[in-house]
Structure 1
Amino acid sequence: MSSVAIQSEAPVALSPRGLKRLALSSLLAMTAFIGVFGMANTATAATADEIKSRGYIAVATEDDFKPFEFVDNGTPTGYDNEMLALVKKKLSLPIHQQIMPWPGILPGVTTGKYDMAVTAVLVTPERKGTFDFTVPLAESTTYYAIKKGSSIKSADDLVGKIVGVQTGSAMLTDLKAFDEQLKKTHGGQGLKQIVEYQSYPEIYQDLSVGRLDAAANTQINLNSLIKTRPDNFVLGQKIGSPVYIAWAVKKGDTAALQMINGVLLDLRKSGEMYQMQKKWFGASFESMPQSIN
């Protein structure tokens, strides 16, 4: 097997986004961190009057996180960029957007450099202590994928099977919880083995050649995999609880939040948000709550 099975007692639950960013060089991360916090870190969020007086809302968007946001031939695109374009059409106040690497975005929001992070921020209990979030824009739920032709027909069929997952990820946490659930409902029998990997390309390779019976990842990522390799893989069932992705403002910044939320709720009512989800994710999330703060 190409990877070693590791059972860490206290894994750090990171989203695929978090793991991708950890792969950025430490120099880039540190430079961005120092650059932002070198400004007055006592800055406060702008009030509604201050934003109106300034004449625009300032937002920051990541430059390379497909399918949410990326730059194609010099043009920002992806789900968040297209959602922002819809918001701009309906909002009376202009939005000034800066495209930049991830490490400087959330620090820039906390210091008041940006009013909002218009990027796919996974909403976690830890982040809720520092940020408030818009209406959710997507749902992130752990599913499993199998090789086409597999005998696995439902999540219960994973009993006694070997499943691959990315180490340190939120999906690993979900998979371990699912394993415990299987044991409770199947007389103590759960997964045969959880195999942790550094990257998903390794996982998909081992699934393809039969070293794994299934791979655990988010529905969005697995849909993308199956779209590009429909002859190899099939989407299974949900094995985790939904968590949500939203845009972030500094804690207590109700001004920018209310301005944007009003438009996002309208885009949900009109169905435009769900159409955009289907375009970029291959699925729509129409049961998302209106508030996650």
Structure 2
Amino acid sequence: MRSALTIGEFAAMTHLSVRTLRRYHEAGLLEPASVDPATGYRYYTAEQIPTAQVIHRLRELDVPLAEVRSILATDDPHRRAEVIAGHVRRLEAELDRTRAAVASLRRLLNPEPPDIAVELRSLPRRTVAAVTGHVTIEKSLAWYDDAMAELDAEFPTAERTGPPGGQYANELFTLGAGSMTVYRPVREPRRSGRIEVVELAAADLAVAVHAGPHDDLDVTYGRLGNWVVTHALTVDGPVHETYLVGPRDTAQADEWRTEIGWPVFRVAPTVDGESDREIRTAR
């Protein structure tokens, strides 16, 4: 019985093209069992089929050639699993970014509702327990999760006096890295680990509520920003977010509610003198 397989036969059995097999040979990923010195024909064996299939699957997952080579070269199954798991995590992160972009694009193309309610609000000084750091935009979600977990562990539900919030420097969005502060209002703020006692400055904000998942949070940012440049005067200062209902409260994303506060110049009192709070709608 003939044991050697021609490159065409091997290609049919592994669903790898002849061209791909040649490229893998040149890259040192999958060398033929033998090469005819006279003709240069490549020959493979049936025992190489599983290896070829592993390479095929890894490449379908866009694992770089260098990582494929590393996986094949190690005899340690745990090390192989670690390398593959690391790439899967990167793919999952890319998938999350793709889903968020699709959700945002759908809302931009089919805005529902077309209007946004904006409230002009004055916030007093507040003393909170907070974690602050200089973070890149790519690592901001992971940093936020870690900081909030630290705050939650230190201040159980009975000590909390309001929903958590965050303040984000403009540089985080304009330069891709900047200061982030996440905080919880609590009865008696105290230092612990990275947690500090922070006094938040008074601020006048144009506030809108984003309903639902955070995938298209940028759309609400854009609509609120459009309202601000049309109806108010912006001032320097961090963007405020308040997480009225979020992932830490419920897994039902449709129930999430996030307040976005854009710093503006203080609004004059209304004619009746009651308040400087107004509800307006941007179209």
Q: Which has the larger radius of gyration?
A: 2
TM-score normalised to the size of structure 2?
0.19
Larger RCO, structures 1/2 (Cα 8 Å, 6+ apart): 1
Q: How does the TM-score come out when normalised to structure 1? A: 0.18
